[in-house]
Amino acid sequence: MMRSADLALEFRLRGEGFRLIAGLDEAGRGAWAGPVVAGAVILPLDRFDLAHVLEGVTDSKQLTPEEREALLPRILDVAVAAAVGHATHTEIDGLGIVPATRLAMRRALDALAVAPDALMSDALALPEIDLPCCAVIKGDQRSLSIAAASILAKVTRDRFMIELDPAFPQYGFAEHKGYGTPLHQQSLVHFGPTRLHRMTFAPLQAILAESAREPR
């Protein structure tokens, strides 16, 4: 049985005097097309039944799309505040994926209705943000706040890519969400990149270079 994330790390920070701890995570960092999306979630740590209400919340990658969609309303219903931020494929190409991910996280934090006093992220340091921040290895499996943010980010990004699918029907964005699947690779070979593709990504460049060398 899959183990849910817990609140041990949050309570450790709470013991240091912090009360509004925002969990942060991203979705789409490794995709070949589309934005990177960050989620930010502040949970009510004084709610005694919080772990029970959010039972099943863990790393979004370990959940099915149906499970993520079912869990998200529970997260949003109980959260003190929750928000998302985006960095576009153009910003990713211009800045690089890590700075663009940090930009998306900054935008998610700026969109929160309640300002946090501490941050927890999934293994990504945030030196530009003037708040205490714990970069937690495998944080989306260990921290309930980070896991909740990972689900928020993943569901938001998946919905966005599904909405884009009718505009690019030959690419299958609704199926692979812009990640590097065989279907996506085949579409790139046959049709070339779209305006949504991250042209600086090495796998994409390699596919396009190989395709250009093949005889027509």
Q: For residue 27, what are the β-bridge partners?
A: 37
What mean pLDDT is predicted for residues 141-159?
Answer: 98
Q: Judge whether residue 214 has pLDDT over 80.
A: no
What mean pLDDT is predicted for residues 138-161?
Answer: 97
Q: Judge whether residue 168 has pLDDT over 80.
A: yes
> One-letter amino acid identity for 72?
L
What percent of the chain is predicted at pLDDT more than 90? Answer: 94
Q: Judge whether residue 21 has pLDDT over 90.
A: yes
Q: Judge whether residue 74 has pLDDT over 70.
A: yes
Which whole-number Å values give the CA distances from 37 to 4, 43, 107, in the listed order?
A: 23, 20, 10
6: buried, middle or exposed (CB in 10 Å: 19+, 13-18, 0-12)?
Answer: middle
The domain locations on the chain are 8-164, 167-213
Q: Judge whether residue 96 has pLDDT over 50.
A: yes
- Res 1: pLDDT: 47
Collapsing DSSP to helix, strand or coil, 215 comes out as: coil
pLDDT band with cut points at 50, 70 and 90 for residue 123: very high
**8-164 maps to which CATH number?**
3.30.420.10
What percent of the chain is predicted at pLDDT more than 70? Answer: 98
pLDDT band with cut points at 50, 70 and 90 for residue 144: very high
Per-chain mean pLDDT for the chain: 95
Those residues whose C-beta lies under 8 Å from the C-beta of residue 43, and which sit 6 or more positions away, are 7, 10, 21, 23, 50, 54, 78, 79, 80, 144, 145, 148
Q: Judge whether residue 216 has pLDDT over 80.
A: no
What mean pLDDT is predicted for residues 127-156?
Answer: 96
How many residues does the structure list for the chain?
216
For the entire predicted model, the pTM comes to 0.95
Token pair belonging to 123:
């293994």
Angle subtended at Cα 60 by Cα 55 and Cα 10, rounded to the nearest 5 degrees: 55
- Which phi and psi (to 5°) does residue 204 adopt? -65, -45
What mean pLDDT is predicted for residues 87-104?
Answer: 98
